[in-house]
Each structure stands twice: as C-alpha cells, then as structure tokens.
C-alpha cells in the first residue's frame, strides 16, 4: 500500500460524521384546534405569544435538544477514535553509552514523530449499542416532558385568563352593588331621621355596605395578581392589563358525561413512566455487561525521522496494529454495586408506573366529576338567576303601581345583582373545569367519541 493511498483512507476516516443525524423534525405540542372550541380570538392570539415567549417552554425545548446531543455522544463510542500525537525532541547522550559489547561514543540527534493513533472498542457484547439505545429512551422522556410543559402552561394560562374575565365582571357588578347599597343607606338614614326605621336597620345597611367594599378590595387585589401571572407566563416585563374578551362572549365547550379509562394513555406522565421502565431495563443490561472483558483494536500510522527534511521519506514510514484485551478482575465490588443500583432503579420504575396508572385514573375521574358538578351548578345558577329576574320584574311592577316603595324596589335589584355575581362565578368555574379536564387527559380533545 502506497503512502498516498494510506493518507486517502485516513482523510476519509476523519471526515466521517460522528453519528448519523436523526431525521426527526421539531415536535410541536400546540393543540390550537381544541382551544378554538372556546371561540375566543384574543385567547388564541395570547397563546401564540405564550408559545414564542414563555421561558419554561424554552427551557423544556433546550432539555430535549440536550437529550438529542446525548444520543450523538453515546453513538460516538460506536465509532473509531482517531487522534494525532506528534512530538519533536533532541536526544543527548553522555560521554559513552554501552549497548552490550558495543560502546557508542557521545552523540546527539533530533527525532521527529508524526503518528496518527486510532482505537476502536469492539462491541462484542453490544454494550455501546445499549448505551445509545438508553440515550434514545432518555430523549423520548425529554420530549414527553416538553409536551407536558406545553399542556400544563397552556392550561394554567387559559384558566388565569378566564379568572381575569371573572374578576373583571365581578368588579363591575360589585361597583353597581356598592352604588345601589350606598343609595339604600342614604334612604334608610332618611327613614331613620323621620322615625320610620330602627337604628338596627340602619346599622345593618351600613354594615352591608362595608362588607361589599371589603369584597371589592379583595377582587381588585385578585385581579392584579392574576394579571401579573399572565404577563409572567407571556414573558412580558410589564404591569399593563392583559387584553381579554368580555364576559358576555364566554363560550363553554360541551363535556362528556363519562370517559373510558383508556384515555389516560395520552397523558405524558404515563408515557414517561412506561418509557422509563424500558430505559432502566436497558441500564440493567449495560451494568451486567460491565463484568465482561473488553477488546480494544488500536493502531498507529505515521512517520518517524531524525532529520526534518526526511520526515516524509519512504524509509521513515511506520505503522502497527493490535488488539488489547481488558478485563477488570477485582474492583472492590464497584461493578456489583452499580449493577444492583440499576436493578433497584428498574424495580422502582415498575412501581412508579403502576402508581402513575392509578393516579392518572384518579385525576381524570376527579376532573370529570368537577366538570359535571360545575355544569350542574351552572344550570341551577341559570335557573336561580331567571327566577330572581322575574321577582325583580314583579318588584318593579309593584313600585310602578304604588304597591311598594322605591327602597323595596332597590333591595330587590340588589338581590338580583348578588344572584348575578353567583351566576358569573358559576359560568367561569365551569369553563375552568373544562380546562382542568383537558389537562388531566393529556391535552387531547376529550369530546371525541372515538376515545
């Protein structure tokens, strides 16, 4: 083999990729089709900003990319390792050097070594292959964790978004209540001054006004906190109020009365638990193969000359190749301990998987029960609001014909506004419950009858 052919082979080896590029497109976890059920364009626009700016989602995406690089790192051990270890030295001897019966007088010389060193672990037992397989499982886990982050953060944002709508509407209604109660207090004060109302009646009305004002302070505080959380999720460094739709445009998606337990198969935590069981099983096999000997194929290829102008001369060419077996006979029990650690981790993974199955079923059932309860409560609240509306219409009619006082009509209106507040809360609670169910089933459209 000529020197030219040897260098051609070396160049081809050096230009080989470290690992085959994974032909996996960037996974997306955005289920905008589901969120269109709420018929809120402002919410959809916010979700686009959320996916672009949220720092937790960016961190989750970077973890997935790190896991991809770990696959390449593990794959590198399945390929030869080539390196250059050259040296330039000058050898100086003493007055004379005895080499057996031969006496070499004092001398000095230069030595130029330009070798390429190559090594390759012969993967007889498939350990390196299993390491890469384990890294791929870790990549799948990271991908599911990223999907879980999208589902959780999207659900959290949407729930806060609708709670902001609730706080806004409750604040408007409560301001009406306070204005109305203030007028009731004023009119009761006049009745008291005229001797037509007792002091207890006046104090009760004043006390009700104070309680309404305290409630307004709490709602204003809650609204600010929710708004700050939304801006943080959107990655915006501002305290401006997040744009939101009016309460009148809120749409509640239809929810099923029952769900099959097989729906938990879409939950990322359950998928992760299943993948982790497989990964730890692979890790046990890797630890078991640590007890077996290893075989390293090595070689050197280069030049060794004593004059720089003869470095690449034909007679300076050198090469060698060999196999170096390696077997750790005694390591103080390190390998056995590592094997047992991985074995126990595998057993833990199985138990964790069984627990995740039960927890998933429980969370889906709990979320479904909450959805059914809030839906039933909303229906009752609507009936209650309709009845109170009719009662107030009668009170207005009675006042118009002189059968009741203005104060009685105002108190009837106050009751109607209080019932309206409960109806606002019941409506948003039902919406938030549908979002909780979406999160519990793993971010899928649970209204699909095929599930």
Per-residue pLDDT, 451: 56
Element (H, E) at 121: strand 108-122
CA distance 35 to 43: 8
Pairing status of strand 108-122 against strand 294-305: antiparallel
Per-residue pLDDT, 19: 37
Average pLDDT over residues 22-46: 75
pLDDT in tens, 10-19: 444 433 343 3
Mean pLDDT check: name the lowest of 18-22, 47-51, 165-169, 309-313.
18-22
Answer with the one of 311, 326, 341 that is the final residue of a domain: 326
pLDDT in tens, 287-340: 999 999 988 888 888 888 888 778 888 888 888 889 988 888 888 899 999 999
Cα separation of the two ends of the chain: 66
Map tokens 């870790």 to a residue: 138
Residue 193 lies in a domain: yes
128 & 147 share domain: yes
Residue 447 lies in a domain: no
Comparing CA positions, the residue from 244, 189, 256, 211 lying closest to residue 444 is: 256
314 & 263 share domain: no
25: which residues sit within 8 A by CB, 6+ positions away? none
211 & 321 share domain: no
Does the pLDDT of residue 231 top 50, yes or no?
yes
CA distance 105 to 116: 33
Per-residue pLDDT, 143: 93
Confidence band of 21 (pLDDT split at 50, 70, 90): very low
pLDDT in tens, 299-311: 888 888 888 778 8
192 & 315 share domain: no
CA R_g for the chain: 38
The C-alpha angle 388, 394, 397, rounded to 5 degrees, equals 145
Mean pLDDT check: name the lowest of 93-107, 195-209, 325-339.
93-107
Q: How many CA atoms lie within 13 A of 242 on its CB side?
A: 32
Q: Write phi, then psi, for 312 (nearest 5 degrees).
A: -100, 20
pLDDT in tens, 52-75: 999 999 999 999 999 999 999 888
What pTM does this model have?
A: 0.84
CA distance 429 to 304: 82
Can you give the CATH number for the domain in which 362 is found? 1.20.1600.10
Which range of residues forms the domain containing residue 319? 79-122+294-326
Does the pLDDT of residue 116 top 50, yes or no?
yes
Residue 449 lies in a domain: no
Per-residue pLDDT, 18: 36
Confidence band of 22 (pLDDT split at 50, 70, 90): very low
Helices (H), 54-97: 55-76
Q: What is the maximum alpha-carbon separation in the chain?
A: 141
Per-residue pLDDT, 330: 83
Average pLDDT over residues 70-93: 84
Average pLDDT over residues 123-130: 89
86 & 229 share domain: no
Does the pLDDT of residue 7 top 70, yes or no?
no
Q: What is the DSSP string of 308-327?
A: GGGTTSGGGEEEEEEEEEE-
The 3-class SS string of 333-386 reads CHHHHHHHHHHHHHHHHHHHHHHHHHHHHHHHHHHHHHHHHHHHHHHHHHHHHH
Confidence band of 28 (pLDDT split at 50, 70, 90): low
* Beta bridge partner(s), residue 110: 90
Average pLDDT over residues 344-370: 96
Element (H, E) at 301: strand 294-305
Q: Output the six-digit token pair for 353.
A: 């998987």
Residue 255 lies in a domain: yes
CA distance 297 to 324: 6
Strands (E), 106-245: 108-122
Does the pLDDT of residue 430 top 80, yes or no?
yes
């Amino acid at each position: 083999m000529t020197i030219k052919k040897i260098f051609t082979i070396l160049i081809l080896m050096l230009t080989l990729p470290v690992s085959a590029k994974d032909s996996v497109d960037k996974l997306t976890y955005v289920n905008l089709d589901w969120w269109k059920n709420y018929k809120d364009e402002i919410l959809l626009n916010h979700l686009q900003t959320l996916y672009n700016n949220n720092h937790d989602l960016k961190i989750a995406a970077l973890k997935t990319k790190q896991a991809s690089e770990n696959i390449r790192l593990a794959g590198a051990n399945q390929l030869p390792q080539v390196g250059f270890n050259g040296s330039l030295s000058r050898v100086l001897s003493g007055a004379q050097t005895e080499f057996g019966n031969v006496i070499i007088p004092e001398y000095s010389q230069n030595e130029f070594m330009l070798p390429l060193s190559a090594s390759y672990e012969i993967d007889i037992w498939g350990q390196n292959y299993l390491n890469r397989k384990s890294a791929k499982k870790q990549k799948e886990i990271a991908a599911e964790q990223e999907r879980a982050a999208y589902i959780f953060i999207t659900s959290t944002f949407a729930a806060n978004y609708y709670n902001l709508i609730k706080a806004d509407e409750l604040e408007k209604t409560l301001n009406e209540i306070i204005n109305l109660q203030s007028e009731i207090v004023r009119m009761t004060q006049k009745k008291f001054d005229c001797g037509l109302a007792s002091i207890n009646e006046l104090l009760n009305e004043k006390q009700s006004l104070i309680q309404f004002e305290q409630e307004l302070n709490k709602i204003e505080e809650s609204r600010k906190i929710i708004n700050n959380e939304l801006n943080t999720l959107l990655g915006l460094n501002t305290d401006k109020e997040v744009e939101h739709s009016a309460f009148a445009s809120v749409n509640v998606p239809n929810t099923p009365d029952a769900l099959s337990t097989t729906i938990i198969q879409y939950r990322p935590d359950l998928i992760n638990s299943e993948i982790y069981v497989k990964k730890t099983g692979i890790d046990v096999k890797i630890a078991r193969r640590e007890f077996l000997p290893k075989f390293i194929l090595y070689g050197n290829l280069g030049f060794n000359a004593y004059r720089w102008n003869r470095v690449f001369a034909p007679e300076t060419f050198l090469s060698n190749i060999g196999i170096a077996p390696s077997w750790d006979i005694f390591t103080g029990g390190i390998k056995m301990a590592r094997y047992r650690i991985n074995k126990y981790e595998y057993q833990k993974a199985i138990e964790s998987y069984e627990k995740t199955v039960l927890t998933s079923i429980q969370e889906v059932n709990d979320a479904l029960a909450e959805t059914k309860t809030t839906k039933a409560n909303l229906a009752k609240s609507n009936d209650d609001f309709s009845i109170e509306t009719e009662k107030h219409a009668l009170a207005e009619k009675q006042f118009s014909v002189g059968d009741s006082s203005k104060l009685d009509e105002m108190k009837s209106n106050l009751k109607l506004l209080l019932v309206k507040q409960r109806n606002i809360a019941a409506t948003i609670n039902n919406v938030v419950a549908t979002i909780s169910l979406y999160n519990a089933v793993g971010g899928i459209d649970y209204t699909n009858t095929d599930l």
